[in-house]
Amino acid sequence: MATGVNDKYANMAAVSMTLSAGALQFVELQTGISLGQGMGILIDEIDYYIETGAKEDMGANGDSIIMAWTASNSISDIPISDKSVIHQHQCQYFEQGTPANFAYVTEPSVYQFLPPMIVAAPRIYLAAKSNAAVTGYLRSRLMYRFIKLTSQEYLEIAESFVLVG
């Protein structure tokens, strides 16, 4: 059992990046914790924002933008099946009928976790890529708290994200 929660209320962090067409990119969230501290990160909420310019670049059926929070920046892709991918959000252009058909898009895309997700990683990254000539500005906001873990808890959780071994 965790030895105690250090944060009673959620911290808020925002990470931004400019998307380069077709390239997988990473931006590190500066948490200020190190591997030796045995701290876990409880994630209460993740918000994803895809700015208007990036959405406007998606003009062909199947164009997409994928954003994810990961426990590693040394992966070559961000599929949800990768154990180091904590959470993923995808926006895809889908043509239905004629160009006169349209839909309203609500931003941000908000994901709340009850109970919160726990990550035993001193570094977490916002990753993003597109499969087309899509560029633009992306943002994500994280609501998180720190929790002190025992050595055994830390190792068990870290192994689930392939940080050990």
Written in H, E and C, the secondary structure of 58-95 is CCCCCCEEEEEEECCCCCCCCCCCCCCEEEEEEEECCC
Looking at residue 46, what is its pLDDT? Answer: 97
Residue ranges of the chain with per-residue pLDDT less than 70: 1-6, 97-104, 161-165
* The domain made up of 4-160 is a member of CATH 2.60.40.10: no
Check residue 103 and give its pLDDT: 66
Domain limits of the chain? 4-160
